[in-house]
Amino acid sequence: MGGRLAGDNEIDAMRVSGVSLRWILFPAMLVGVAISVGAFFIHWDAVPYAARVQRSLRDDALMEMLRSPPPGPQQFWLGSGMRMSYRDARDGTFQDFRIVVYSQKDRSIAEIHSAREARLVAGESTAVEMRDTRTLRFDDQGNRIPEQTAAEGRFQLPISGRVDDVPRPKYAGGSRLLRMLDEPVFRHDARVELHARVASAMIPLVLAIMAALIGIQVRRSSRLAGLGASLPPLILYMLLAIPMQELASGGSLDARVAAYLPAALLGAVDGALFWKVSR
């Protein structure tokens, strides 16, 4: 819309008539505020609920596959921090079974559990019973801890198949997320998740103002021009936000810095564009 008004010289006419740039941008700001408010409520409860449903569907699919495992060499992920593999499967029994557990901090290998045979055990929780087991662990510095062996072993799998049985801030609704801030085991991840949700709700307003300012300068009205005004800032935000979110999750960066710095940088670009357009 800004490009259409600028292309028809409507922006120049309004400014000559004494209308300030702030009032010209007011409709874009109003739309941005409305979208940001809607985005806040979506990120507060709807997105976590959708993530829980997705997790439940994934767990159900994994359970069905583990009950009737396909033969031959297989390898797949059990969530983001665990990888399972086996050489063959016969009558529900895994041959040359292995589970690799990765550190949530830096994604390095933390544990390796292997067994000659393994079988799924499903009850109140999901686990595998292993025979002729070997367990290898690494400390925080990556040093190898002496290997442990046992005739039998049992490993708990992070598969529940139930939407409500996922105690992680990522899957928590807004009220539950606030309570997690008082629980030491969840406090760090809850802070990261809380600030990320608030920052995600702020971005539509920042991007709406930026798109309007770019549109005023472009002075063209077309779908391609509109895409050019909105897509690059969004890509820039994602390139900034995703790595910072990973650093915050690993504890290398403060949760507030990771959440709000990308929005602040885009806000600074808004300020620079506003100064340039208002000259």
One-letter identity of residue 239: L
pLDDT at 5: 47
pLDDT at 230: 64
pLDDT at 213: 80
| pTM, two decimal places | 0.69
Q: Given CA atoms 248, 252, 256, 260 in this order, what sign does their dihedral have?
A: negative
The residue extents of the domains of the chain are: 2-53+167-278, 79-156
pLDDT at 96: 93
Q: Given CA atoms 79, 85, 90, 95 in this order, what sign does their dihedral have?
A: negative
pLDDT digits (tens, 9 = 90+) for 211-232: 778 777 665 554 544 555 567 7
Residue 242 and residue 253 in contact, taking contact as beta carbons nearer than 8 Å: no
pLDDT at 108: 81
pLDDT at 166: 54
274: left (phi over 0), alpha (psi -120 to 50) or beta: alpha
pLDDT at 260: 92
List, for the chain, all residue ranges whose pLDDT scores fall below the cut of 50.
1-3, 5-8, 163, 222, 224-225
